């Protein structure tokens, strides 16, 4: 027979257990991080994404008192490394530093091994504007003249860093808003694309401002416009596409994620440390030198930008008919 005393004791035990479970995330955050973290960069070593990811990791590990091991996992358009983070324990010990290829992937790859819902956004850290550049032989000095020329020739050839890249889809968006029929010529990265435009193999290209700026300054290429909402300090005097086609806005962003379900207190720690690193002088200088706009927003703000980009790029992938290489 269960007495009132026994019922009371059982209730107390249940309440105590509930309190322990409810307090577990907070206790976890108090001890976090208690071991080294792992940062997945889903691209090959040596690229801009890898270099900046390592700079952030060094600064964050100094501040957090734990090593952050950078693990390059290239392949599958970044999907191999990205999938590792999706399926990692939700404890904040595995991070992803990636680009907006993350937002394009769901439309470009019909059978991804993960869903965007399996990630927790931490912060968008930088945005690299894209430039529309032409070979000097192209008789157009601004975006209106370029559109007029493209219409008269039934389209120009433009190079990008690969099918389904933000650079490619910028050209698709320009075709769409301007009513032109430029032909996409994909290359395997920025290097081959720049060789093609410098040699006149293609008439125009869509590199990042960072890639384009040295050639524009030397007079070897002409900058027609930048695709960000605001002009770029790296290409002073070059107008935005949005000045002719309001709302036009594409870029290559870099941002941090971890696995969905990570306790909110741990998310808060990671966000704080990312912003702290972003404000470090050497990282700010590297981003400015690279033609980037530094961001540093909240997880909620980053999630909203991500949702907008997933929708925008899904429409552009559909218009382009792009398929993963």
The structural domains of the chain, with segments of one domain joined by +, span: 36-128+251-320, 150-243
- Burial label, 251 (beta-carbon count in 10 A; 0-12, 13-18, 19+): buried
Q: What is the pLDDT of residues 45-95, one digit of tens each?
A: 887 888 899 999 999 999 999 999 999 998 887 899 999 999 999 999 999
Q: What is the CATH number of domain 36-128+251-320?
A: 3.40.190.150
Using left for φ > 0, alpha for ψ between -120 and 50, and beta otherwise, residue 118 falls in alpha
Q: What pLDDT does residue 325 have?
A: 62
Q: How far, in whole angstroms, is CA 296 from its chain's centroid?
A: 13
- Whole-prediction pTM: 0.83
Q: Which residue has the higher pLDDT, 263 or 78?
A: 263
Question: E strands along the chain, which residues?
Answer: 37-41, 68-72, 94-99, 119-129, 131-134, 157-160, 183-186, 204-205, 222-226, 251-259, 293-294
Tell me if domain 36-128+251-320 and domain 150-243 are identical in fold.
yes
Q: What pLDDT does residue 111 have?
A: 86
- Neighbouring-strand partners of residue 130: 208
Q: Under a CB-based contact definition with an 8 Å cutoff, are residues 85 and 258 in contact?
A: yes
Q: What is the pLDDT of residues 84-100, one digit of tens each?
A: 999 999 999 999 999 99
Q: What is the pLDDT of residues 164-192, one digit of tens each?
A: 889 999 999 999 999 999 999 998 888 89
Question: E strands along 260-305, which residues?
Answer: 293-294
- The CATH superfamily label for domain 150-243 reads Periplasmic binding protein-like II (3.40.190.10)
């Amino acid at each position: 027979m269960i007495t009132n005393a026994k019922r009371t004791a059982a209730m107390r035990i249940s309440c105590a257990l509930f309190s322990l479970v409810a307090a577990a995330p907070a206790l976890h955050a108090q001890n976090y991080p208690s071991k080294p973290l792992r940062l997945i960069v889903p691209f090959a070593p040596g690229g801009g994404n890898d270099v900046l990811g390592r700079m952030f990791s060094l600064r964050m590990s100094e501040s957090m008192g734990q090593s952050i091991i950078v693990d390059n996992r290239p392949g599958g358009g970044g999907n191999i490394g990205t999938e590792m983070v999706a399926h990692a324990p939700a404890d904040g010990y595995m991070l992803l530093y990636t680009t907006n290829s993350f937002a394009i992937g769901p439309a470009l790859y019909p059978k991804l091994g993960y869903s965007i819902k399996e990630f927790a956004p931490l912060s968008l850290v930088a945005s690299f504007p894209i430039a529309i550049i032409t070979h000097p032989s192209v008789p157009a000095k601004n975006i209106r003249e370029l559109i007029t020329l493209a219409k008269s020739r039934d389209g120009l050839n433009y190079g990008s860093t690969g099918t389904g890249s933000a650079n490619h889809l910028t050209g698709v968006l320009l075709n769409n808003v301007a009513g032109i029929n430029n032909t996409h010529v994909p290359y395997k990265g920025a290097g081959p694309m720049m060789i093609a435009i410098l040699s006149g193999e293609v008439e125009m290209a869509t590199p990042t401002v960072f890639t384009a700026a040295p050639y524009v300054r030397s007079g070897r290429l002409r900058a027609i416009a930048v695709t960000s909402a605001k002009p770029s300090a790296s290409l002073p005097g070059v107008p935005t596409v949005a000045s002719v086609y309001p709302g036009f806005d594409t870029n290559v962003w870099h941002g941090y994620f971890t696995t969905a379900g990570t306790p909110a207190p741990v998310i808060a720690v990671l966000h704080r440390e990312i912003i702290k690193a972003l404000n470090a002088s050497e990282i700010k200088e590297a981003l400015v030198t690279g033609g980037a706009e530094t961001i540093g927003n909240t997880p909620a703000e980053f999630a909203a930008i991500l949702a907008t980009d997933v929708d925008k790029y899904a429409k552009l992938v559909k218009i382009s008919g792009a398929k993963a290489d």
